[in-house]
Amino acid sequence: MNKYILIFIAFLAIGSTVSAQKTFYTKSGYIGFFSTTPLENIEARNNQVVSFIKTDKGSLSFGLLVKSFKFKNALMEEHFNENYAESDKFPKAKFKGTITNLNEIDFDKDGVYNAEIHGKITFHGVSKEVNVKSTLTVNENKLKGKSTFYLKPSDFNIDIPSVVRAKIAKEITINVDIDYKIYKK
């Protein structure tokens, strides 16, 4: 009988550790990218970004469908999908990483925190390690994440023909703006 009590306690212990950590999530996050050259400005917005943050280890993940990037110019959108991002072949883009300064962030206390994130971006079949600075705002069980960073198309094996090279910036600005809520299964 003692054994069963022991097991029961073990059971409870495991159960309580599971509920102690928080998972934040969204499936309507925003990621946009901008390319600015003297010849042409290109802007694309994606409002269907899925993202999760687990507070215990500070692990976070982002995922999006490349096709969900919307451009103002329909032809640009088609060229982006067909010729550059090849979204039929590589439909998803992902980021998996961790918050490296987790000890400076208290997800239970309201406030604005600077988070440093290290992780891997996978896009167009190529993975690249990046370090990104971001701001996290904790407000009553809600979490807001914002970040801006830069990526080079050439790092992701994206072939840009010489005719349009002058119209596409060497470095693309990526903006991330996400409102998280508590994830319930």
Partner 1 sequence: MKKTFFLLAIILFVFGNAYSQDLDDLLDAELDNTKSYTIATFKSTHIINSHTVAQLKKNHLNFIIYHRFGALSSGIKQFFGIDQANMRLGFEYAINDWITLGVGRSNFEKTYDGFIKMRLFRQSKGGKWAMPITLTYLGMSEIFTKPFDNPNLNNYFTSRLTYIHQLLIARKFNEKFSLQLMPTVVHKNMVKTVIEPNDLPALGIGGRYKLNKRIALTFEYYATIRPSNNIVEYHNPIGIGLDIETGGHVFQLILSNSGMMQEGGFIYGLNNDDFFKGDIHFGFNITRVFSFNKQ
| Residues found near partner 1 in the complex (CB under 8 A) | 3-4, 7, 10-11, 14, 18, 25, 27, 48, 50, 52, 54, 59-65, 67-68, 72-75, 77-79, 81-83, 86, 88-89, 91-92, 94, 96, 164
Instruction: Work out how close the CB of 52 gets to partner 1 at its nearest, in angstroms, rounded to a whole number.
Output: 5
C-beta of residue 138 within 8 angstroms of C-beta of residue 106: yes
Instruction: Work out how close the CB of 81 gets to partner 1 at its nearest, in angstroms, rounded to a whole number.
Output: 6
Smaller CB separation from partner 1, 6 or 112: 6
C-beta of residue 51 within 8 angstroms of C-beta of residue 25: yes
Alpha carbon distance 140, 138 (integer Å): 7
Smaller CB separation from partner 1, 86 or 171: 86
Instruction: Work out how close the CB of 183 gets to partner 1 at its nearest, in angstroms, rounded to a whole number.
Output: 8
Smaller CB separation from partner 1, 89 or 109: 89
The helix or strand, by DSSP H or E, that contains position 17, with its residue range, turns out to be helix 2-20
Instruction: Work out how close the CB of 33 gets to partner 1 at its nearest, in angstroms, rounded to a whole number.
Output: 17
Smaller CB separation from partner 1, 110 or 120: 120
C-beta of residue 47 within 8 angstroms of C-beta of residue 28: yes
Taking the mean position of all CA atoms in its chain, how far away is CA 99? Answer: 12
Smaller CB separation from partner 1, 65 or 151: 65
Q: What is the dihedral of CA 103, 104, 110, 115, to 10 degrees?
A: -110
Q: Closest Cα to residue 182, out of 4, 3, 14, 24?
A: 24
Instruction: Work out how close the CB of 85 gets to partner 1 at its nearest, in angstroms, rounded to a whole number.
Output: 12
